[in-house]
Amino acid sequence: MSSNEPFAGVETQIDEVADGIFRLSTPVAAEHFPPMGFTYGQFLLMGDEPLLYHTGPRRMFDCLVTALEKICPIDKLRWLSFGHGESDESGSMLQILEAAPKCEVLVGTMLSRLVVNDAAPRPAVVLGHGETRKIGRHEVMWLDTPHLPHNWEAGMMFETTTKTLMCGDLFTLMGDDHPATTTDDILPASEELRQRLPYYSNPQAARPKLEEMAALKPANLAGMHGPVWQGDGAAMLHRLADALDG
């Protein structure tokens, strides 16, 4: 096995899914991720202060850089963010910070304390719950979502100008071949997966956080593992809350 299996020779799909927001999605074939394969999605918010959301796993770093540099040289990254500390969300944090000397990690309080400020070579820039920051043409808001879907330090990022909610592992789908965006109903398949792999820490406590996110009226639900869902994001988040209650 080579050192970057299962990502050797894999091509990352690049699509602009909202104005200035690019989805970089790397597939893993079923032979490496049975039974259907899987995808790892990063989001690049382009502009004067480019922000990358999710790092991808450490072994995927070369794939990520190859794709990223078709849009933005890695040393021009200004911000790095992710929703919790886990190999796919933050595994390449150190490689990215090394390759991008001006890049700072922009996350919530608990992520800074529990993950970034111990592991990274420079401290995180912290956004409080609901706090916004202008980054070039985009504006991002941080949302603390402890244990949603997992990890105490969990949070999500909302891009206010495009109403894009980078919702991490919510609405996760199996499969290695998804369209970049969809309006199809992704909830039944993601719920079927959650029943088999119960990856939520505390689904019964999720409703208040999901309702808070629904109040932002997202138009794009940019999950990490699957297509970006486009439509009435508030309605979809309420349906997820109902499903988690069931």
Say if residues 116 and 105 touch (Cβ distance below 8 Å): yes
Q: Is 139 in the site for Fe ion (CB under 5 A)?
A: no
Structure tokens at 155: 């949070």
Q: Is 153 in the site for Fe ion (CB under 5 A)?
A: no
Residue with tokens 């912290």: 126
For Fe ion, the closer of residues 17 and 78 by Cβ is 17
The answer to whether residue 224 forms part of the interface with Fe ion (CB under 5 A) is: yes
Q: Who's near 121: CB < 8 A, 6+ residues apart?
A: 94, 97, 98
86 interacts with Fe ion by CB under 5 A:
yes
- Report, in Å, the least distance between residue 151 CB and Fe ion: 7
Nearer to Fe ion by C-beta: 88 or 144? Answer: 88
CB of 195 to Fe ion, least distance (A): 17
Choosing from 169, 186, 190, 240, the residue that interacts with Fe ion (CB under 5 A) is: 169
* Comparison of 10 and 224: residue with beta carbon closer to Fe ion: 224
Q: Which of 10, 27, 81, 88 binds Fe ion (CB under 5 A)?
A: 88
Single-letter code of the amino acid located at 240: L
Closer CB to Fe ion, 22 or 171, in the complex: 171
Q: Which of residues 9-38 bind Fe ion (CB under 5 A)?
A: none
How far from each other are the two terminal CA atoms of the chain, in whole angstroms? Answer: 43
The reply to whether 237 sits near Fe ion by the rule CB under 5 A is no
29/60 Cα distance (integer angstroms): 14
Binding interface with Fe ion (CB under 5 A) = 86, 88, 169, 224
